[in-house]
Amino acid sequence: MAAEPVVRTAVTDDWQVSILGPAGNPVGGGVIVPPRSVLTCAHVVTSAMGARLEDDPHATVTVTLSSGLNLTGSPGGGHRYTGGSHHEDVSVLTLHGDLGQAGGRFPTSHAHLSTGDYAAKRPMQVYGYPQGQPHGVWADCLMAGRGGPESALIQLNDAPDTGRRVARGYSGCGVRDAVTSRVAGLAVLRDKSPEAGVTWMIPLERLARDWPPLRAALAPRGLFHASAPLLLPGRPATGPAPRHTAASAW
């Protein structure tokens, strides 16, 4: 695959959102997929609601754009995957409200999305919302390679000699390629061992198999091939998926 051009972006990318919990503080983040969708983790939506989606299918959550504008997001539409593996921990929010109030700080194309270059040691960045940082802070990682159930996740190792590590509050946040500034996936869980320094990412390539709008956004740029096997929403690929026993979603 040919190298992708570098995208010039602001310090906080316009595709990034924070998702607020019942107390009004961020419980995680998400990635905008134009025109009005946000990709995030299902457990982030559950935390934001303070209840399970199954208990209140019409519930909404508050989504804060990079411009500071708060919008309402609804997790309906059958896009929530609740399998036993973390690669199915995904929810798609639909944004409601006047996007014109975002002051132009809202992506109108899919240029910020990519299937990524999953090369070892490739530098990656995640902008998340750990405790005490409601406006967010960057954490640096290095790509390690594929792993997890069905090799469906990407392992990220903490970058050495950096001040901030991925922690609770980074779930659902976009993992950005530090070279191209494009989003390659979503941060989904962290190894429970403090010494491990390992984060797991759901690659957009995997998410595109399950969600047609993302597949349609990536295919014209040659980033997703129609021949790739598709997974049905809410259904494991084959048989029971192994559970992560040494990692936890935040």
Provide the pLDDT for residue 72: 95
- Share of residues in the chain with pLDDT > 70 (%): 76
Specify the CATH number of the domain 123-223: 2.40.10.10
Q: Do domains 16-102 and 123-223 have the same CATH topology?
A: yes
Q: Does 2 have pLDDT greater than 60?
A: no
Provide the pLDDT for residue 23: 93
Stretch (H or E) spanning 215: helix 212-218
Confidence of residue 228 (pLDDT cuts 50, 70, 90): very low
pLDDT in tens, 21-73: 999 999 999 999 999 999 999 889 999 998 877 788 788 999 999 999 999 99
Provide the pLDDT for residue 117: 66
Please report the sign of the dihedral spanned by the C-alpha atoms of residue 50, residue 189, residue 116, residue 225.
negative
Confidence of residue 5 (pLDDT cuts 50, 70, 90): very low
Provide the pLDDT for residue 226: 43
- Across 206-213, average pLDDT: 85
Q: Where does residue 238 rank: exposed (0-12), middle (13-18), buried (19+ CB within 10 A)?
A: exposed
pTM, full prediction: 0.82
Q: CA 71 from chain center: how many Å?
A: 18
Q: What DSSP state is assigned to residue 90?
A: B
Domain ranges within the chain, ordered by starting residue: 16-102, 123-223
Confidence of residue 215 (pLDDT cuts 50, 70, 90): confident
Q: Does 172 have pLDDT greater than 80?
A: yes
Of the two residues 71 and 107, the one the predictor is more confident about is 71
> Which of 207, 187, 214 has its CA nearest to residue 199?
187
Between CA 124 and CA 177 the distance in angstroms is: 5
pLDDT in tens, 108-152: 888 888 876 677 889 999 999 998 898 999 999 999 988 877 788
State the average pLDDT for the chain.
Answer: 78
CB 250 within 8 A of CB 170: yes
Of the two residues 107 and 85, the one the predictor is more confident about is 107
Between CA 26 and CA 169 the distance in angstroms is: 7
Provide the pLDDT for residue 210: 79
Provide the pLDDT for residue 126: 94
**Cβ-Cβ contacts under 8 Å for 65 (sequence gap 6 or more):** 14, 17, 32, 71, 102, 105, 106
Between CA 34 and CA 203 the distance in angstroms is: 18
Instruction: Tell which CATH classification among 2.40.10.10, 3.40.50.2300, 3.30.1330.50, 3.40.47.10 matches the domain 16-102.
Output: 2.40.10.10
Between CA 80 and CA 67 the distance in angstroms is: 27
Alpha-carbon distances of 79 from 44, 125, 127, 174, rounded to whole Å? 14, 26, 24, 18
- Share of residues in the chain with pLDDT > 90 (%): 36
Provide the pLDDT for residue 84: 45
Of the two residues 168 and 29, the one the predictor is more confident about is 29
- Across 12-28, average pLDDT: 91
Provide the pLDDT for residue 125: 93
Provide the pLDDT for residue 248: 52
At residue 204, the 3 state secondary structure works out as helix
